[in-house]
Structure 1
Amino acid sequence: MYLAHTILQATLGFMIASATGAQAICNSTSLNTTSFNYYNDVENQTIHDIAIKFNRGVCDIGRANLMVDVSVVPYVGQTFIIPGEVCNPDWTSCVINGPGTDDCLVGGPRLYYTLNGDTLWKIAGRLNMTVDSIKCGGDGCSSKTNCTDGICPGGGGSQYSTNETIPAGQFIKIPMCHPSACDIEPYTFSKGVYKDLADKYGSTVGQIQMLSPTYNYSYIANEGGTAPPIGIAKNCRLLSSNYTILD
């Protein structure tokens, strides 16, 4: 977990430094401000790879395509909008920097549906929870007497190690805080990434993702197509200062 976080910080640091240097000499008249469609034909190529390839910010690409999260690995055959170049490419504002501190999910839902390239480390970040809570339920890995190499019995993700890639389309059981609640509403997703919605409405990226489990991104919406309808979790909160964890 810590190695992955260190690598992410180092990568972002390099990108930010490169962008800062570019900004000092940026001439907006020399930028290619035309957007275009890009067909991904490279297996395991990430959105970060694509952003570097075209000198765009990863978050600029994410928002142009209404992404769940820019860490989701594209499949071969997916098409993305590559927005026009800007002097200040955004590499950071949409990035989830790692797992959180919660030991259960406030307000639910119960089942997380994995996307391509997911790991327990990524899932924990999207849900603002610890990796151990997702692995082992509310007790956490450290209290399990037969926990071996970070893999613990019980808990939805107990069969996976922290940075192991989980096959897409798997359901992971998430421990929930009781009593707690979220307001659930239909929502027309027409701008941004899921982190923007989660920050605005008081939930997490993972909770919004769990309400529309097969949604990944949409480039068509920003080309005059129909904005995707999704479910959105709002105002997620504990209903008591004392709560229990439902594994």
Structure 2
Amino acid sequence: MRPSTLFIPLASLAASLASACDPSTLNTTLYLYPITETGTTVFDVARLTGRGVCDIGRANLMADVTIIPNVGQTLWIPPQVCEPDNTSCLIPDTNRTRTCIYGGPRLYYTVNGDTYDVIARRLNISTAVLLADDNGANYTATSALPVGTFIKVPTCSPSRCVIEPFDFTEGVYLDLARKYGTTVGQIMMLSPTYNYSVSLYEDTGASTPTINMAYNCTALSSNVTALT
């Protein structure tokens, strides 16, 4: 399901909480929420717990809140607030015309909930180009893709990124992408098995994750070629 569809009831919830909010009545309990049913989304968890989806996303250092958790995983539920954030962590679904990514990598590893359109949005490239480049004849732009397969991504030449280890201590990947000049998809490609972490929840005692980070991804010429 598209994030814009899921956002509608959450927006209504946020508006009602903010309009008549008494902070003393908020649930400030911190706890872990287990995923027990297949297909439960982070948006579902936000609705059921009265939290903002982006508040949950940042509390769990998520790659992307649209990734569907697996049964058996647990999410840290942060304190309830008067104005839940359900928008700032969502990747804008704009008119994407780019035909390649700057600097690589080349292969995207699919996760739960992926479609060609979702992947292209994370990479800020045209969905049609991604479909054409990866033999997408068996899938539409919105067909669910099998988890754990590699999708070839067209790379711009000449272009580059600086890639270094990064201690991920706050935010979601969209925050990092905006700050460091890359895309959510490229960060995911560099640490393909990472989804989220409950390390910020004090009772776990876990260290915050180290991921591979792409910085300052840019074209090296005004005339680039898409390598497929």
* TM-score where L is the length of structure 2: 0.94
1:226 corresponding residue in structure 2 = 207
Pair 1:123-2:119 in alignment: yes
Q: Does structure 1 residue 133 correspond to structure 2 residue 114?
A: no
Query: What 5-or-longer segments of structure 2 have no aligned partner?
Result: none
Instruction: Give me the whole-angstrom Cα distance separating, in 1, the residues matched to 2:168 and 2:150.
Output: 24
C-alpha separation between the residues in 2 aligned to 1:11 and 1:131? 21
Q: How does 1:23-34 map to 2 (within 5 A)?
A: 23-34=18-29
| 2:39 aligned with 1:44 | yes
Q: Does 1:238 align with 2:203?
A: no
C-alpha separation between the residues in 2 aligned to 1:245 and 1:172? Answer: 16
Q: CA deviation at 1:158?
A: 4.5
Per-residue CA deviation, residues 147-185 of structure 1 (Å, 9 max, x unaligned), is xxxxxxxx3544321111111110000011110111111
Is the aligned partner of 1:72 residue 2:67? yes
**Partner SS for 2:176:** helix
Q: Residue type matched to 2:141 in 1? A: T
**Contact 2:6–2:43 under 8 Å retained in 1:** no
| Amino acid paired to 2:84 | P
The C-alpha deviation readout for 1:119-152, integer Å capped at 9, x for no partner, is 1111011100111111113xxxxxxxxxxxxxxx
Q: How does 1:65-104 map to 2 (within 5 A)?
A: 65-98=60-93, 100-104=96-100
Distance 1:17 1:40 in 2: 24
Q: Which residue of 2 aligns with 1:19?
A: 14
Task: Check whether the contact 2:61–2:198 (CA below 8 A) recurs between aligned residues.
Answer: yes
Asked if 1:192 is matched to 2:177, the reply is no
RMSD: 1.5
- Kept after mapping to 1: 8 A contact 2:53/2:86: yes
5 Å matches for 1:100-179? Answer: 100-137=96-133, 155=134, 157-179=136-158
Q: Which moved more, 1:99-108 or 1:74-83?
A: 99-108
1:56 matched to 2:51? The reply is: yes
Tell me the secondary structure at the aligned position of residue 220 of structure 1.
coil
Superposition deviation, residue 16 in structure 1: 2.1
Give the 4+ runs in structure 1 shifted more than 4 A: none
The equivalent position to 2:196 in structure 1, one of 212, 217, 222, is 217
Q: CA deviation at 1:82?
A: 0.7
**Alpha carbons of structure 1 residues 221 and 31: separation in structure 2 relative to 1, 3 Å:** closer
C-alpha distance in 1 between matches for 2:27 and 2:89: 23
